[in-house]
Amino acid sequence: MSNYGKIYGIGVGPGDSDLLTMRAVKLLGKVDVVFAASSTKNDFSHSLSIASEYLHEGCEIVRLGYPMTRDKAKLKEAWEENAKIAAKYLSEGKNAAFLTLGDPLIYSTFGYMLRILRKHYPDIEVEVVPGITSYQAAAAKSCQVLVESGQNLLLTSGVADADEFAHTISKAHNAVILKAYRNFTQLRDVVKELDNVDVKFYTRLGLEGEAIYNDIDTVPDKTHYLSLMLLTASDKD
């Protein structure tokens, strides 16, 4: 039997603390440690600020720094080091939660933690608690059907270059573009060339400064990193 505690990857949703699942709230009220990912440039964690009201008084908070870089060597070093930190707490028999915006398995830092724990610490038990994604919350805000009948729904990232992005979305009936702040002006140019597509842009959903744009031309060139776009087939009826 493993002497390690258990780690929960908990999705805290897009921003509104009311959107955590009951399962997430129950676990946050019981775990010994909470791991909160943040940029190495500061110790602020959006996921922690969302979930903080559900933590019990004795819960220990450990901030894990992740560099905002595309340097693979630096990223790998951070992933390895943070997994080592998590394993240390778990080796003491403590149960822990790793907080993540949205869902833990969609464009999430937890995915890297999970992969390394499986590789180097296979005795650690992991449970994933799904969370409401930003694009589900965005669709709900606008009462926008994401996909129906025989349509497909593409989930992609704004990190891709413009040519790759254009090729990818050309095959989709409807699309979700996360990380839409990255390369936004180029992505906007591509989207404007599409026919029969409704475009909505969302930023800081459920947080102070939330904004929804139905006209992509009115979106500022510099957007917040908590931004996404929904592209849906126009209703011709």
Express each pLDDT in 101-116 by its tens digit. 999 999 999 999 999 9
Alpha carbon distance 46, 80 (integer Å) = 22
Residue 120 lies in a domain: yes
Same domain, 100 and 150: no
Residue 1 lies in a domain: no
The answer for residues whose C-beta is within 8 angstroms of residue 112's C-beta and 6 or more apart is 75, 79, 83
CATH code of the domain covering residue 226? 3.30.950.10
pLDDT digits (tens, 9 = 90+) for 64-97: 988 777 778 888 888 899 999 999 999 999 999 9
Alpha carbon distance 139, 203 (integer Å) = 13
Query: Given 86, 114, 129, which residue is the final one in a domain?
Result: 129
- Give Cα separations from 42 to 31, 37, 86 (angstroms): 25, 10, 19
Phi, psi of 147, rounded to the nearest 5 degrees: -165, 145
Number of domains in the chain: 2
Same domain, 63 and 99: yes
Same domain, 14 and 82: yes
Same domain, 142 and 225: yes
Would you state the pLDDT for residue 153? 95
Query: Given 110, 129, 148, which residue is the final one in a domain?
Result: 129
Same domain, 23 and 84: yes
| Domain carrying residue 100 | 6-129
* Eight-state DSSP code of residue 167: H
Nearest one of 192, 182, 190, 178 to 230, comparing CA atoms: 178
Q: With contact defined as beta carbons under 8 Å apart, do 191 and 168 qualify?
A: no
Alpha carbon distance 47, 126 (integer Å) = 19
Same domain, 125 and 151: no
Residue 183 lies in a domain: yes
Would you state the pLDDT for residue 235? 66
Same domain, 108 and 191: no
Would you state the pLDDT for residue 206? 87
- Average pLDDT score over the chain: 91
Query: Given 101, 129, 157, which residue is the final one in a domain?
Result: 129
The residue ranges of the chain whose pLDDT is under 70 are: 1, 40, 235-237
Q: Which residue has the tokens 């039997």?
A: 1
Residue 23 lies in a domain: yes
